[in-house]
Amino acid sequence: MKALQDKIRQDGIVLSDQVLKVDSFLNHMVDPQLMLEVGQEFVRRFEGVTFDKVLTLESSGIAPAVMTALTLQVPLVFARKHKSLTLKDDLYVETVYSFTKQVHNEITISRKFLAPGERILIIDDFLAYGEATFGMARIIESAGATVAGVGIVIEKSFQDGARRLKEAGYRVESLARIASLGEQKVTFLP
């Protein structure tokens, strides 16, 4: 997606050869027009696939996911991150390793917001090793629902999340695919 690649080139900050910072349009300040175009592009790519809900992880996935859900005219559910929990009876809980923060987080979704048989589109801001997406997929499947697609705003293709997800049988659509963050610059896959 050209507008997204241009924005990443212009405003993305390469923190290391592993991490890209995009806090001026996605992760802290949000560019709503670009997020709307991101949502519309996901819907275009998944044309012909039906979804009952969009699922993401708080907080950075919410902006692109809400625009996707708006365009699809379906609800958005976001998984919540918790450090520790006492009351878990009405929740789905999975443990997810956070690549950027290097901690294990418990992610939770209220049981009342996922129903058996539903077809879910997972949206996330970044794909690195696939931990967050696999965590959400485990919850969806334990609810008896189906992962009907995975939409990623920025895929770091040099980390192995995309490969792992595709090997597990999920359809992954990534709007910007980064081949490398070496030499302090962003190089996209063609």
Report d(CA 50, CA 119) in Å as an integer.
Answer: 7
Nearer to ligand 5GP, 20 or 63 (CB): 20
**In the complex, minimum distance from the CB of residue 73 to ligand 5GP, in angstroms, rounded to a whole number:** 25
Q: Minimum Å distance from CB 129 to ligand 5GP? A: 4
**Residue with Cβ nearer ligand 5GP (113 or 129):** 129
> Of the two residues 31 and 124, which places its CB atom closer to ligand 5GP in the complex?
124
Tokens describing residue 93 = 């809980």
Residues in the site for ligand 5GP, rule: CB under 6 A? 19-22, 27, 57, 60, 98-100, 124-132, 156, 161
Q: Are 179 and 8 in contact, with CB atoms under 8 Å apart?
A: no
Q: Rank residues 45 and 81 by Cβ distance to ligand 5GP and give the closer one.
A: 81
Residue 177 near residue 5 (C-beta atoms within 8 A): no
CB of 6 to ligand 5GP, least distance (A): 18
- The answer on whether 27 is annotated among ligand-binding residues is yes
Residues 6+ apart with CB under 8 A from 122: 54, 55, 56, 133, 136, 137, 140, 147, 149, 150, 151
CB contact at 8 A, 126 and 149: no
Pairing of strands 20-21, 13-14: antiparallel
Residue 189 labelled as part of a binding site: no
Return binding residues for xanthine.
20, 27, 156
Annotated binding-site residues for 5-phospho-alpha-D-ribose 1-diphosphate read 128-132
